Structures are given as structure tokens and as C-alpha cells.
A and B are shown apart, each in its own frame.
Chain A
């Protein structure tokens, strides 16, 4: 009966090597700001942002994960319940690109089967330090059938577009028939869990 101010809640997850700029991508999207000092995320953080897509108000709950190798086994437990995963690499860091297949495997193993994936090549403002050609990013994305954007949190390139596209892709898969109150459990670390659609219009 409740007319919510948002119609749907999508849980998104940011993963990728340490230092590729996951936190900055999130910060740019949620606060429209950028911070140059690198503070390694040691844990799981999240922010919310409400967007409107196709006339629906969608609350995005975006989880930012620690990228450091030693935390990988723990962070994979947060994959479950995510409806969209953004896999981020750094176009100036070849290793971060090489690790993509490993991250993709992680998604296969730990995320929901129907999770919507997206690949982001971040720091595209640093053209002079680029070591991963855009074509390589496009190619691996094509091979895995996922969307790809080169982004820059610093220069605010494609950040909003990436999130909205991912949300749209999820929305497209969301059954039109309103699920009554299906709760999606977001693992033990879940904060605000579940998503409800409004049940009257």
C-alpha cells in the first residue's frame, strides 16, 4: 500500500585491484567530487543514490570493496545479492588489466547467476600514462559479452553514464510484474537489505 519515494532498490558492487579507483568512481557518482589522496579501502563501504529511469525512481545502493589481494576471500562473500557488478581496472596499470579474468572468475563463482556485469577502464584522463589500449578493453568485454566504458572519476568522464547504463540493464531484466516483497539477502555484511517495489500505482 505504501507509495514509496523509490520504486526499486538495486544493489551494485564495485570490484577490481587495489588502487584502480573504485572508491573515487563511487565518490564521483554519489557526491560529484574527487579526492586525490589515496586511502586504501580496508573493508566494505557503501553509498546510496536515487536515480530516475524510465519514469521509475530507483535507489542504488553501491558497495565499494577492498581491492587488496589479502582480502579477496572475504570480499567475495559480498558478491551474493549484488544485482550489478562493476569490474574496474586502471588503464595505466597493466597488472590490473591482466587480473580481469581472475575477477571475472570470482564473479562466476560467487555472484548470483543473473548478475549484470560491466567493465570499466578507469583513469582515462591519464592518456600519457596509458598502457592498456582501449581496444584491448573492448575486446575482453566483447569476449565476455559485457558492457565496457573507459571512465575517469577525476575528469568526470562516463561515470554517471556507466552507473545509469548498468541500472538500466538491471531494470530491463527486472520482472514487470511487481514482486510482492521479495527480499534479496545481501550476505552477513548486508546493510539495508532487500528491495521492494511499490505495490500500488
Chain B
């Protein structure tokens, strides 16, 4: 519980200061029902908030934590809260046995009026079934005879010691869960059993107040036990206790217990939990306190309506060293014939009593999940089939064995109807119920109850040995006699060295597992060669990925630094991302395609077919894939200027020449000794071919050519082989259009484009612009225009007209440096039409 508070750090969530207050505002009708929601008014400075908290330990815990933090705040912010004034109340209280709870309230109210804040917490209400004395304010210190208890408990539960931290299991994440599981699995490797003595006591006090020392009961052992788990039933039979769950008896009995603990040791109160009259107090020997952690308390009512707290159980769970221990104190249904009801209560308690875990992702802990379960209480099982005289006769003969065979609990356990897996020691004491109060005489009331072993102590778990099991006839306060048992329990202690070794081994294994779970693939090839890549020719190679890892993987080609895309523009990977199941595979097509936008750089040798792809696996490795190849330069994508410098086919030229030629492009007067060609010879070849063969060709420039013939024409132009152009007229015509389209600088260079648009309606102005073009561009323009005019002369056969040709060629010769709109398009056509008119030069 305390660890929870540290983890969540309430102070960080709730603005607890002196201005902060939580006040219970439940109405009196609501108070009458135990189990109703608790209404709280939270105020902070000027703000107020009304909250409804569900009944239960979570709410109680919350309120008590707020309470604690608030009082801590009081302590730290002002030096006042020694509350010296309280001491006179203490003196007044001592011996009187009056309601210290009311004193608590009173004190809190004093505080609040001092500090403009009130905190009522669970006080005087149905909301709290227990008051955690472990957290109670300083005044209670003087009430306990052993003054160091509170501080001790504080330190044991609030600041886990180093040891406790080693033990504290990691709480979140897959890795953490794995480690936790492995640690649990290998517990034997790093723990060893060490015996500790647990004193268990149960006492049905019949609503009485303590009138005699409890020492005969609680200090009956020679040596001081390591732990005390003391259970009471019927602590308070008043209506107030039942309806408001508030009783002064809690403190009275706690005090009586604390004074009767074994005098040879100091004990710390770790936990007190109470449901109406069922109370469980858990003490631990001072030196063991630091090894107690994960303390939780819960209650379950099985009384009236199956919910109320007149019957039921309270339980405390904790971790001691490496053992998880649960102590249950229950008061089961009464009356001799109701044994099945008692069985049912037991089952109810087992299923409904759940401890929350610190890690919210973990399911709540049930009683049965613990290594050691200690179950004490007034279980209320009776002696059946014998009448009072038989029973008393057997008791008189001390024939407890025979009598025990009529015991309902024994019979029910033998039938496995209840307490399955639990053990109980031999009963060698006379029944603990029912006596005339203040005596050792059997019940003399008119009901004349049959004596019974109502009060029992059972356990479940390994390495548990009972040292004694007895009743204590000396105590006469109640109609029951208290029962005690001393159990020696082998607790799993941690060998720090072995723990470290085990932990490290587990971590090593998990590291190994994690490494094995890094996504991984095998690649069919790491290097791809693309041989003789040509313009507008599709090349593809297949990269196969096989997921050879332990997990599914997600792959993606990722960008390299300073590059806009994952690969060069002439390359694509298809698909470029995807998913491969474990053991699965995927084929990726690496495609190379050089188009008019990528060709110029490759032709000039500025770029190579060379790239490195980075294949990234999500949460895994990266693979580098090399793509290399050679590109066959082409007239396609080469500039008019460059082509005019080349008297031989482009592929007969050396890389250096091409690079040289590209460099001087633009500078009209090359250092070249040879006079450049008037127009590119490739252009001449195509136009001349068409001029000679296709002037009368029907639908020339309108009907598409064949792809395969284009490839032949391109190769012919680039290599000079064969001597004449292959393919149909339509293919040559299309090859010509593609050639113009691929020119990096159009026939009418981009710089003239705007001017052309402006003067498009004026024929002489248009001619003037053309005359200003660079020589080779001007030549090409005029040459093409002349050829087109020749075509138009044959329009009867080839069915061309000015409009058609202007539409086709204007868009190739006058290309916009940006995007062209329809109006611009019309203007370029208008411009070009001047040159198609017969008679223009």
C-alpha cells in the first residue's frame, strides 16, 4: 500500500496544500447503508468539486492517503504540528478507554480551523471500514506503549529498503514481464528457505471491551514470534458499528493487543483492517519490517443480503522476502444447521476478495494466488449428530479425537466441500464455544448451546510446521475462548549474489532473444548490373527478399541524405515498400527507364547508371543495394548544338569527346577545328527519309508508329548501322517527333518563348525572332518549316493541313519552360502557322 503511494505520488496529482480539503458530504440516509457510495466535497482555494467514490477499499485507501499526505504537508510547511495541546487530551484519554477516534476527529477539526482546511477522510462515516493506524497522526504514538512503532512502520512501508527494491519486480512492458516470469520460474536458483515463526490468534470477543490482559494468549510462547496475525470477531455488536462501521473498540482492542505482545521483542504494526466487528492486526518484529513489502488489505461482507459486514472476512496480503503471504480472518455464518451456508461464505470470500496489484496491467490477486495462506477466525462450524450431554461427556473424557470426528469442519474438509488444500493441526483442547461470560462454565442460558470448536486456524502452503495449537482458558472476557497457533514457515529468502547471477542470465537470454527477433531478410542479389541501357527502353531485374528472421517485417526503400527520393529518377523499385510474413518472400522489380528528362545528363556523361538503394527494415537492419550499368548515349536527349558537332554516330564517340562537346554547348565558336554541321545529321536523315518516301503518305504524322521500329530507328541513328533508316514511314515520322520532343533545349530556345507569344500575330516580327536564334537552331527551324511546306503541297494525298501541322509541331518547337495553358498553346500555333504559309522563306 505504501509503495503504491510512493509510485503514484499523490502529491503530484492532487494539489494538496493547506488550502486543500476533502469533506464527506453523504446525507444521513445514505450513511445508514453500509456499502453506499461516499460523497466527497473537494475544495482547493476557491474551487469546489463534488465527487462520488464507490464503496470499497480503493476509496478508503485513497482517502487515507490524502489524509496522510495532507498531514505531511502540514508537518513540512509549518513547524507547528507537534500539536502540544493534544497531550492533555491524551492524559484524559488514558485509562478511560474512551473514544480516541472522536479525539482524532476533534484533532483534525482543530487543525482545519487553524489552517483553513478540513480533511475528514474516512472519519465517522461509512466510507472507511478501517482506520489505518499505521498512518495515524502523532498523537497515537503516546497511546502505544512501544513508541517507536509508528515510525518504524512508516519507514518499512513508505521507503522500501534496498533489499525490497531488489525484490520489487519490474512492472511494465513485454521485456519486464518476460524477466518477471523467468525470475519466478527460476526462483529456486536464488532463494533458500529460512524458518520464521508466525503467531496466529483468533478471538471472538462477543462485543466486549478488553477487561483483562491478553498476555496469557499472546505471550504464551517461549521465544518472541517473528510475526503476529491477530484476528477478532464480534468486536462490536452495536448498531453504530454495523451501520457506520465506526467503533471505539478497534482502538481499545488494538491497544490491548499491543500491550500483550511478547515482551522480549519490539514489534511494528504493519496493517490493521476491520470490517464492522471482524478485525485483523498484523505485527512484525522490528528487524523484519524492512523485508515486508506490497502490503494490501481487503474486506468482503457476506452477512445480511450477502453483502453486509456482520459476517465476512478481512484479509491482509504482503510479501515477506520472496514469499507472498495472505492472512484471512473470517467470521462465517452461525447456527448449527447452517454449515452449507458457511461453505458458501468461504467460497464467496475466496472469489470476491481480490487484492489490486501495483501494476495495473496485472489481474487482481486472489487469496489462492499466494504461496502461503493463513486462515483464522470464527468459522462457526459445530459438532453435529451429538447432543449436549454426549458432547460434554466426551469433553470430560478428553476424547477430543472422537469428538472431532463429529466436527462439521472436519467432515466438510474431508468431503472437499470447503477449505480444499488447507491443513489444520490436531485439536487437543476443548471446544472454545460457548461459555458463560467471565467463567469457564459451559453456556447455561436457555438455549444451552452445544459446545463447538468455532474458532480455528488453518493454513495452506509449503514448508509449514505447526508448533502449537491451543486455546486459552484463562481469558474469560467473552463467551468464546481465544485460540492460538504458532506456525514455523519456511520463507523464501533471496541470496543476493545468486539473484544477481540469475537476473543477469535472464537478461542475457532476453538480449539474445531480442537480437534474434531483429527483423532480417536475405537478398537474392546485392548488386545489379544493367548492361547497355538505351533511351526509352525498359530494363528490369528482380530482387527477391526472403524473410529469414523470427518476426514479420516491414521493408521500405529510404532516402539517402541530401537526395530528394530513395533512388535516381531513371530507377524505380516496385514495390518500394511492403510487408513480408515470417518465412515469406517478395519480389521487387528494379526498373531502369531513361526518358527525355534523364537522358541529357546521361548522354553528356554527367551522370552514370549508378545508384545505391537503402532497403530499411522497420526496427531492423538496413541493406545497401548497388545498382550499376552503362548507358549507350543517344541523339535522343542530346542538344542540337552537341549533335551538330558530331560528324560520326554518337555511339562511335568516346566519353571524353561527348563530355567536351557538352561542355562547349552554347558557345557558338567551338575550339573544334572542324566546322560544325548545319543541322544534326540525325534530323537530316529522318527528314530526308520522309521527304523522299512519305510526302504522299496518307495520315503521315497522324498515325502512330511501332515501338519496335522506333528502337531500330534509334539504334540506326546512334550507330550509323544500317545505312538507311529501317521501319515504316509512320515510325520514322514518330521518331522525328520524339527526337524534337527529347531535345533538352527546344528548337526555339526557352529564352525566346515569351517573345514569340507576344508577337505571334505579326508574321514579320515572327520571322525576325527566328532570325535571331542561334545558328544551328535557326537552321533546324527553317529546315523543318521547309519540309512541312513541302508536305502541305501534297495535302491531297497525305490529308494534312496547316492546322494539323501547326498543332503538332508548334508544341514541339516552342515548348514552354513551365506549364502551358490553352491560350498559350493557341499563340504558339498562330506563331508557327506563319511559317507554314506557302511562299514564306
Q: Which residues of A contact B (CB under 8 A)?
A: 1-5, 30-31, 42-50, 52, 57, 66, 70-71, 73-74, 76-77, 188-189, 191-192, 200-201
Contacts and interface: CB of A to CB of B under 8 A. Distances in A.
A1 B170 CA distance: 11
Given A70-B612, A77-B560, A5 B512 contact: no
Contacts of A3: 168, 170-172, 176
Contacts of B168: 3
Nearest to B615: A43
Contact of A42 (B7, B518, B526): B526
A30 B511 CA distance: 9
Interface in B602-661: 612, 614-616, 618-624, 626
Contact of A74 (B504, B508, B518, B614): B614
A3 B165 CA distance: 11
Contact of B176 (A5, A43, A48, A50): A5
Contacts of B561: 73-74, 76-77
Given A71-B612, A188-B558, A200-B7, A30 B515 contact: yes
B620 A191 contact: yes
B106 interface: no
Contacts of B176: 2-5
Chain B interface size, as a band, is 35 or more
A188 B558 CA distance: 8
B239 to A, nearest CB: 44
Contacts of B398: none
A49 B511 contact: yes
B191 to A, nearest CB: 20
Given A5-B507, A70-B612, A45 B621 contact: yes
A73 B559 CA distance: 12
B87 to A, nearest CB: 38
Contacts of A57: 507
Contact of B172 (A2, A42, A44, A74): A2
Interface string B1-13: 0000011110000
A44 B558 CA distance: 13
A163 B624 CA distance: 27
A30 B173 CA distance: 23
B418 interface: no
A25 to B, nearest CB: 15
A5 B518 contact: no
Nearest to B616: A189
A52 B612 CA distance: 39
A70 to B, nearest CB: 7
B515 A66 contact: no
A31 B512 CA distance: 8
A4 B170 contact: yes
B119 interface: no
Nearest to B514: A48
Interface of B: 6-9, 165, 168, 170-173, 175-176, 179, 504, 507-508, 510-512, 514-515, 518, 526, 558-561, 612, 614-616, 618-624, 626
Contacts of B621: 43-46, 191
Contacts of B512: 31
Q: Taking each of A30, A31, A49, which has the highest tally of chain B beta carbons within 10 Å of its own beta carbon?
A: A49
Nearest to B610: A70
Contacts of A50: 507-508, 510-511
What are the 3 A-B residue pairs with the smallest beta carbon separation, nearest first?
Answer: A2-B172, A44-B622, A43-B623
A44 B175 CA distance: 24
Contacts of B165: 201
A74 B560 contact: yes
A22 to B, nearest CB: 14
Contacts of A192: 619
A44 B615 CA distance: 10
Contacts of A66: 624
B537 to A, nearest CB: 27
Contacts of B172: 1-4
Contacts of A191: 518, 618-621
Given A4-B176, A5-B170, A50-B507, 6 more contacts: A1-B172, A5-B175, A43-B622, A44-B622, A66-B624, A74-B624
B745 to A, nearest CB: 32
B770 to A, nearest CB: 47
B558 A1 contact: no
Nearest to A71: B624
Nearest to B506: A5
B179 A5 contact: yes
19 contacts: A2-B172, A4-B170, A4-B173, A5-B170, A5-B179, A5-B507, A30-B515, A42-B623, A43-B614, A47-B518, A71-B612, A76-B561, A77-B560, A188-B559, A189-B614, A189-B616, A191-B621, A200-B6, A201-B165
A47 B508 CA distance: 12
A31 to B, nearest CB: 7
A52 B505 CA distance: 12
Contacts of A201: 165
A44 B617 CA distance: 10
A74 B612 contact: yes
Nearest to A74: B560
A30 B513 CA distance: 12
Nearest to B175: A5
Nearest to A78: B622
Contacts of A1: 7-8, 172
Contacts of A76: 561
Contacts of B515: 30-31, 47-48
Nearest to A1: B7
Nearest to B623: A43
Contact of B624 (A42, A47, A200): A42
A161 B409 CA distance: 65
Contacts of B612: 70-71, 74
Contacts of B616: 188-189
A168 to B, nearest CB: 18
Contacts of B173: 2, 4-5
Contacts of A49: 511
A46 B622 CA distance: 9
A191 B504 CA distance: 25
Nearest to A40: B526
Contacts of A188: 558-559, 616
Contacts of B623: 42-43
Contacts of B618: 191
A191 B179 CA distance: 23
Contacts of A48: 511, 514-515
